[in-house]
Amino acid sequence: MKSRTKSIGILTSGGDCPGLNAAIRGVAKAAMHYGIQVLGIQDGFRGLVENRVIPLDSRSVSGLLVAGGTLLGTSRDKPHKMRMGQEVMDMTEVAVTNMRGMNIDCLVCLGGNGTQKNALRIRNAAEDIGVITLPKTIDNDVVGTDVTFGFDSAMRIATEAVDRLHTTATSHHRIIVCEIMGHDAGWLALGAGIAGGADVILIPEVPYDLEVVAQHLVNRRKGGKRFSIIAVAEGVRSKVEAAAAAAELEAGNGKKKKKHEEVFDSVSQQGVLLVQEPVASQIARQLQTLTGVEARVTSLGHVQRGGQPTAYDRLLATRLGTKAGTLLAEGVYDVMVAVQGDHAVPVPLKDVAGKKRLVPPDHPWLEAARLVETCLGDVL
């Protein structure tokens, strides 16, 4: 095939995760196969604005398949809201000018929800330069794809952590609360909680009642089970918090900040820095009071992002990357390469950007959790 694309730039944006290097390798090798020049843009959209670019060839991407992290580096900078010195500026036009100077026909962006939106902004500012995105995030919350690369690797790490917590919980007859990443989506906590045999799983999509959770733990002890593991997604909300947020939206006040965020902002403006108590810590403290059982907290944090990708994520990233290379050769732009069933397919980027894929209330994982007597915090 004679490629319709002559030159591309690749960048990784947002948080790092396993599989990024495998995806870079997949895109680059497939593009090179079609005779496309490949440029690597360092540190996400900031590198694009600052014109920090390295050429990629077959040798430079060799060995990337098994490596964690990203060869190119990453950042959470947004081109339209980028801190430059002491000011926050719109650097979109600078990014576009730099791409034109490099003769880039299409920008390939690897990232999550924020990256999809930023890629579309770049596209809207440059009619002569296309974009293609790949869905990357451990949160698994990108719309239009069955799964994102990075999710399987993070779920493996979180599951192993829950597995290991069983031994100490059993030995000391404790409640152990394990906080798992995911932002406002519960995929990671739900998957790892089920796979690790957590007794309680709390996710943002199912607002919890702490009295229900406490009663479930008490019932377990009465039944001779003297320990409990609780998997908590970082974005969980109680039923009271969820109802208050819904009331704010109905009143037309838009998306209201969580109460602790309002306090944090207010005090920060006075020059005082606060360390926020993790949600898992709050839940553990309250459950210890309600049940009279000693509770401990484990927060996995960025451990979930690190290390080598699983075989599944290596395969997934390679499939998505090589499909992107084929689309580039065909001149298909302005799409996200998604997994749907057994196929990697292009999805219009405008149908993805600004949307989030959450756990639906009728999802089979939720049904499976309830059938193995896992408490989800809503009902006994």
Q: In CATH terms, are 7-149+309-341 and 154-306+361-371 the same topology?
A: yes
Give the position of tokens 């403290």.
285
Give the pLDDT score at 2. Answer: 85
Task: Say which CATH architecture domain 7-149+309-341 belongs to.
Answer: 3-Layer(aba) Sandwich (3.40)
Kindly list the averaged pLDDT for each block of 10 residues, start to end, along the chain of length 380: 93 95 97 97 97 96 94 95 94 96 97 96 94 97 97 96 90 92 96 97 97 96 92 94 85 57 48 69 94 92 91 97 98 97 96 96 97 94
Edge to edge, the sheet with strand 106-111 lists 53-56, 37-41, 7-12, 106-111, 130-135, 335-340, 343-348
Q: Which of 133, 279, 286, 143 is nearest to 203 (CA)?
A: 279
Give the pLDDT score at 273. Answer: 57
d(CA 136, CA 107): 16
Give the pLDDT score at 192. Answer: 97
Give the pLDDT score at 104. Answer: 97
pLDDT in tens, 227-279: 899 999 999 999 999 898 888 887 876 554 554 454 444 444 455 555 667 78
List the catalytic residue out of 16, 77, 105, 139: 139
The domain ranges of the chain are 7-149+309-341, 154-306+361-371
Q: Which of 22, 23, 51 is nearest to 39 (CA)?
A: 51
d(CA 35, CA 308): 30
The terminus-to-terminus CA distance of the chain in angstroms comes to 60
Q: Does domain 154-306+361-371 have CATH number 3.40.50.460?
A: yes
Give 158's contacts (C-beta < 8 A, 6+ positions apart).
178, 180, 181, 188, 189, 191, 192, 196, 231, 300, 304
pLDDT in tens, 177-224: 999 999 999 999 999 999 999 999 999 999 999 999 999 999 999 999
d(CA 84, CA 64): 32
What are the backbone angles phi and psi of residue 84, rounded to the nearest 5°?
-125, 100
d(CA 301, CA 101): 40
Q: Which of 65, 70, 57, 64 is nearest to 29 (CA)?
A: 57
Q: Is 139 a catalytic residue?
A: yes
